[in-house]
Structure formats: structure tokens, C-alpha cells
Amino acid sequence: MRAVSWLAGALLALAATAYLAFGLHLGLEWIDEGHIVYPAWRVARGELPYRDFQQLYGPSVFVLNGALLRLFGEELAVVRAGLLAVKLLLGALVFVLARDVAGRGLALAVTAAFVVIWGTPIWVFNAPYANHYALACQLLAVAVLLRGRARPLVAALVAGVLVGVGMTFKQTAGVFAAVTVALFLLAPDRTQGEPAWRRLLWWAAVLATAGVVVAYLRERTPAALVLALPLAGLVAVAAGRGGGDRGGGVRAQPFAALLVFAAGAALAPVAVGVVFAAEGTLGRLLADTLLELPQRVAWFIPLKPPDVRGWFGAGTFGLVLWLPVFVPLAAVPLLAARRSGPGGDAAPWLLAWTAAGCCLAMYPAADMPHALMLLPALLPLLAWALAVAAGPRGVRRAAVLALAAAIAVAILRTPVQQARAVIAAPIGPTLPRAAGIRTIPVAADDNAALLALLAKEPAERELLILPSEQMTYFLAGRRAALQDREYVLYLATTGFVHPEDARAAFDEEGAIARLVATRPLVIEHDVGPYLARVRTMFPTLAAFLDKYYRERERAGRYTVLEPVMGPAGQVDSSLVPPAPPSPPGALPH
């Protein structure tokens, strides 16, 4: 019987792998995917984040993907193969965590939902976002903590290291993971007498968490308060009814486990700091990821009020938007009733803390893509809540599971339809460095024409693409002329920054001086509001291009501009300051 189970599991794993891999071979995204892939390629060529280019994410997403490109070749398929491994790890973690608290049947159901949704061929799941890697580290840490009953302090150390590694991918994800583990470890157990020092330590952790949440939400605190409701609900229940039994495992020695966990969590960030300090660029690392660049980002999509009418028929997929709030909130009364379900008491509590912390990741963008990104953290807790609400047998169990199945079918219909639409679309041209990636015509046709045109240019010729489209830099194998300012161009393109902040961070005069010195081709792509937005934000740069660049030819909707200026001294000095030195450490092609 065990052999049959193993065989069935292997077949299901192969089917999931094939489905996820198939979705990764469909479609390209020029702006969002490009702003991660192109910097990773630059790291593969020996450059260093923050020293040679700006970025908001932690360095690990670029170092990891840069290493893959260096080892296995400069192809987009290499990055996506690495992303496939992350998806498979997340799927395995969803299954294992759900099985432990809800049984194999519900675990298979929620894992299947994860595979279907995360296999949808859209940019959210095809781009190597830092959150994907950080979430995998966090859930792996949860699994380690829950399986560390024999050697709890070792488990706490390993989990801390994993959370710290996740922090080097995406800072906020790692911080919230660390905070929720601390709350889990220190939450009181009302079935036992708690010493006063433990209660004081718990309330200190609660107050520190409140400070982190308020600081993170900043001026959006009232509008984003709903995202903190699950965390507040769990704190209230843990304070009044207890936060799970102390039993065995890491909660049996909460203070020691927290110290070991904190030490492990500090290892990776400290190591990164030491490396960048040795390169003389620790200040730039802190400015880009914590102190300056994050403060310039002006991006806020508030959570829309729930529309129950939209949760029926074709609009049922809109329910996903509220799952990060609903799932941990639904767990609050179940945990308050001390109905722990098949997996014991510690597991559902840690899953609930994790899901509530991930809910905060919906700030600053409480939209569908970000809700979908959080599903792996929600599905094991959802499986537990369904198991507890359904009960062991009888009509209630059948009714709850039937309702859950109906909602799941309605939700999954949208990603299935999306996949079918992409598959049915005509095949676009094969692009350089995108072997095996099936593109959709129109944008890809234009890009293929542009790449063919650029292939005739000298290898050392740099480009400036407006609006920011860093995937084209990667596919063309070309350096960006303003590479140290490319991330600000990305923020301007997407509208994630106020114009005055964009101009303060971009330094138009320095950019013009570099264009005069290097005389790159300028590519303008006039589709949607993006080009007009960039030109409006940087009027001095736009005036310089209008005066000293002329259209040479077109490639679909791309316009190729050639410099018509003479030597640097023969242009309008009011638009051209002295040329700055090249960025340190930059490697020529």
C-alpha cells in the first residue's frame, strides 16, 4: 500500500512540475520582469548591486539569478528554471504544512489550487520577484520549527538562518517573518502558570510589533489599518485565552529559542553588510534598501471594499483579493475556542501568525497580483480552518467541504481561462536569449524588429530606452547608457514616484553629460502613458533629446533616435554640464 501511495505521489508531483513548467514558457514582460533580470545579468558580468546600479530589493535575488546566468548561460530560460524550483518548493511546503494540520485530502486540494493558480502564464508568476524567494524561506522556516521537537534550539537556529536569508531577498518579508515567529514563541499559555517575566516579555514583543507596523504603514496607517486586523485579533486571543500549549518543541523554551532564532536571523544580513562594507558601498546599500530610495516610492493601492455581488459568477475570482485578510481572521475564533484540529496546537498557531504577518505585505499594493503572491502562506491555514469547521463527520462536514469546493471551482475558473487564452493565441517570434519562451505577437513582433536592428550596431554601443524597458537591454545584450539611474527611470515609468522626487534622485544634468560622452542610441517606445510620463518628469532630458537627437528609423512602435550633436564642446552648455566619471567597477562588454 505504501508503494502505491509513493507512486501516486510521484505521478502527481510530475504532473504539477509539467504544468508549472509549461506556464513558465508562455509570455514575456518587458518592464517588471526586466527590472530584475537585467540587473541579475549585470551581476553575472561582475557588477555589484547599489555600487553600480540602484535597486530597492535585497541583493540576493540578483546574486542568485546572476549566478545561474553565469553558470548555465545567459538565457531567460535559466532564470525561469530557477523560479520553477522555487515554485516546486513552495508547492511541497503547502502540502506538508496542510497535511500536518488538516489531513492528506485537504492538503492535496489546497496544493492543487496553488499549482493551478501559480502556474497561470502571467507576469506575476513568471517574473523572479524577490517575494517568491523570501516566502519560500519563510515557509521552510515554519516547517523546521514545527518539526524540531527533538532538538528545539537547533530548529530555532536553522529557522532563524532561513528567515535571515529571506530578509536579504526582500527586507519587509523577512522582518515580518521574524516578528511573527517571536510572537509565536512568546505568546502565553493560559493552561499553565506563566512567570511574570514571560508575560512582560510577551507584552514587550507586542508593543515592538505595533511600533514596526505603524512605522511601516507610515502616513497610510488609517487606510491600511484593515491589513493589521488579523494580527491584532491573534494578539487579543493569545493575551486572553493563551497562544497555544507549551508542550514540546521550541515553545517549551521560548526565551532560549528566541535568542537562538534571533542570532540565526542576523547571520545573513550581517554577512551581506560585511561584504558591502568591504567594497566600500555599505552606505549605498542602506540608502537604496532602507533609508532613502524606499522613502521616495509613492505607491499605494488601497484594499477595495468587499463587493459580495462580485463574488458570484465570473467575478468570483475577486474573492482572492480578500483572502489574506479573511483566512487569518477566520482562524481567530477557531483558535479562541481552542479547537486545534488534527495537527495539534502549535502548528495552527504558527500558521496563523505567519498568515497574519503576510497580510501586511498587501501594503502598499492591496491588489490582485499581491494577493495571489501570498497564497502559499494562506492555504495551509485555510485547510486547517476547513477541517475544524467541517468537523470529523456528518452533514456539517459534507456541507462545508461542498461549499469550499464550489468556491474553489469558481475561483480557479479564471486562471484556467487565462491559460487557455494564452495557449490559443498565435505564436510570436523567437527572440534572442529567450529560447523556448513562447511570446505573444504585437509587442514581441516590435521587439523582434528592434533586436534585429540592434544586432547590426557595434557591440560596445550603449542604449537608452524610454520608457524603462530593461528586458530589451538583456535580450539585446546591451548596457544601459544611464545604468546607475535606470531604477529611477523604472519608478518614473510605472508612476511609483512623485515627479519632484524622481528629479531629485535622477540628476538630469549628470545624465545629459553622460549621453554627451557616450553618444548612445535612444529608443522611444510610445505605447500607453509611459513615454509621456517619463518626458514630463524629466523635462531637461526631454529638451536635450529633442534638440540633439533625430529619428533614424522605426522598428514597429519603437523609434530609434541617432545623436546629431558634434563633439561635447559643440552643444548648448546650458544643457550639458561637465561629464561625470564612469561608475566604479563597471565592466565593458
Radius of gyration of the chain (CA): 26
pLDDT at residue number 528:
81
- Asked if residue 360 has pLDDT above 50, the reply is yes
| 587 pLDDT above the threshold of 50 | no
- pLDDT, residue 315, reads 57
Q: What is the pLDDT of residue 579?
A: 46
Task: Read off the pLDDT of residues 108-132 as tens digits, 9 standing for 90 and up.
Answer: 999 999 999 999 888 899 999 999 9
pLDDT (tens digit per residue) in 26-47: 888 888 999 999 999 999 999 9
pLDDT of residue 585: 38
pLDDT attached to residue 543: 94
Mean pLDDT confidence for 342-371: 87
> What pLDDT, on a 0 to 100 scale, did the predictor assign at position 340?
47
Summarised one tens digit per residue, pLDDT across range 155-195 is 999 999 999 999 999 999 999 999 999 999 999 887 666 78
Cell digits of residue 450: 528592434
Separation between Cα atoms, residue 585 and residue 276, nearest integer Å: 13
pLDDT given for residue 412 in this prediction: 78
Point out which residues pair with 365 in neighbouring strands: 301
Phi-psi category of residue 458: left, alpha or beta, with phi > 0 → left and psi -120 to 50 → alpha: beta
What SS3 class is residue 496? Answer: coil
For the ranges 13-22, 135-144, 146-155, 224-233, the maximum mean pLDDT occurs at 135-144
For residues 108 and 287, give the distance between their C-alpha atoms in angstroms, rounded to a whole number. Answer: 44
The predicted pLDDT at position 400 comes to 75
Q: How confident is the model at residue 580 (pLDDT cuts 50, 70, 90)?
A: very low
Roughly how many angstroms between the first and final C-alpha of the chain, as a whole number?
59
For residue 584, pLDDT over 50 is answered with no
Tell me the whole-structure pTM to 2 decimals.
0.93
Which of 175-179, 235-239, 420-424 is predicted with the least confidence, judged by mean pLDDT?
420-424
Q: What percent of the chain has pLDDT over 70?
A: 90
Residue range 542-561, pLDDT digits in tens: 999 999 999 999 998 899 99
Q: Which of the pair, 13 or 579, is modelled with greater confidence? A: 13
pLDDT band at 343 (very low <50, low <70, confident <90, very high): very low
How large is the average pLDDT for residues 319-346? 79
Whole-number Å distance between alpha carbons of 183 and 142 = 13
Residue 458: cis peptide before it, omega within 30 degrees of 0: no
* Buried b / exposed e along 304-327 (16+ C-beta atoms within 10 A): eeeeeeebeeeebbbbbbbbbbbb
Q: What are phi and psi of 449, to 5 degrees?
A: -65, -40
Buried/exposed 235-266: b ≥16 CB within 10 Å, e otherwise: bebbbebbbbbbeebbbebbeebbebbbebbb
Closest CA to 477 of 51, 77, 75: 75
Average pLDDT over residues 393-422: 75
Inform me whether the pLDDT recorded for 450 exceeds 90: yes
Average pLDDT, stretch 144-150? 90
Instruction: Report the pLDDT averaged over residues 304-318.
Output: 64
463: which strand partners? Answer: 480, 521
